[in-house]
Amino acid sequence: YKLGDFYANKGMPFVMISERQTNAPDLIWDIEIKNEYLTWLNRIHIESSANIRKELIQRELTIEKDQLFHLDNLLETRRRIFELGIFNNVTINTIETSLKDSANIDIVLSDSKQRLLNMNFGVQQGRIEEVNQTYLFTQADWTHKNLWQRAHRFTVVGNLNLLWEQLQNFRTPQPSYNAEIRYTVPWLWFLRLPTTAKIYYRQDVYSPFSELLIEKNDTVSYTHLT
């Protein structure tokens, strides 16, 4: 397998490698290599079921027509397209043509759901300063993964959390409200630089789900733009 990848990175994707091993009277290991000829890219075809502008896929390519075949370039193209976040599967097929020194590349893209809604609920009980506590956690987030048909991702997150003390008989819960909006682009102007702008508001009380060390009855409120 590694030997085949070595040849594929040298421009020989259709090399055939076979091996034979004999043990008597001495160990003999024969390796036969065929089809050691350079291959150039003839045609690059993109097939996508997602509603996205084709030029946005093309700018992720690290391969081009009349270029010498190079396996690592195909793998890098696959990684870059997958990082757009709108495809479940990215398949790149190398097809041998009737011409001995050329190959066609077919890129098949299977899209995922472009709109997602997730909701989470949780209840946890514990003791804080010798007082039994009950904590209710609720969160909902909605994401659009292909806004404007440009693989721009837009996410809205909101949650409401309630904390009760047993001594209060569940009459006066301590609420916290969190809201967040995120907008992510795969390119920043002419640079392939995935960038996220985020604005959020948080008003927190102690949470058994939180990694922050917040004392009981402490309230933290802040608004932040990044």
What pLDDT does 225 receive? 43
Cis peptide bond N-terminal to 25, omega within 30: yes
**Digit-coded pLDDT (tens) for 16-56:** 988 888 776 777 778 888 989 999 999 999 998 888 988 99
Percent of the chain with pLDDT over 70: 84
Note the pLDDT of residue 106. 96
Given a cut of 70, whether residue 216 has pLDDT beyond it is no
pLDDT of residue 105: 97
With 60 as the cut, is the pLDDT of residue 153 above it? yes
| Residues 38, 7: Cα–Cα separation, whole Å | 9
The residue to which tokens 């008003």 are assigned: 203
What local confidence, expressed as pLDDT, does residue 158 receive? 95
Whether the Cβ atoms of residue 40 and residue 69 lie closer than 8 Å to each other = yes
Residue 128's pLDDT is 62
185-223: b or e for each residue (b if 16 or more CB lie within 10 Å)? bbbeeeeeeeeeeeebeeebbbeeeeeeeeeeeeeeeee
Return the higher-pLDDT residue of 38 and 132: 38
Partners of 152 in beta bridges: 147
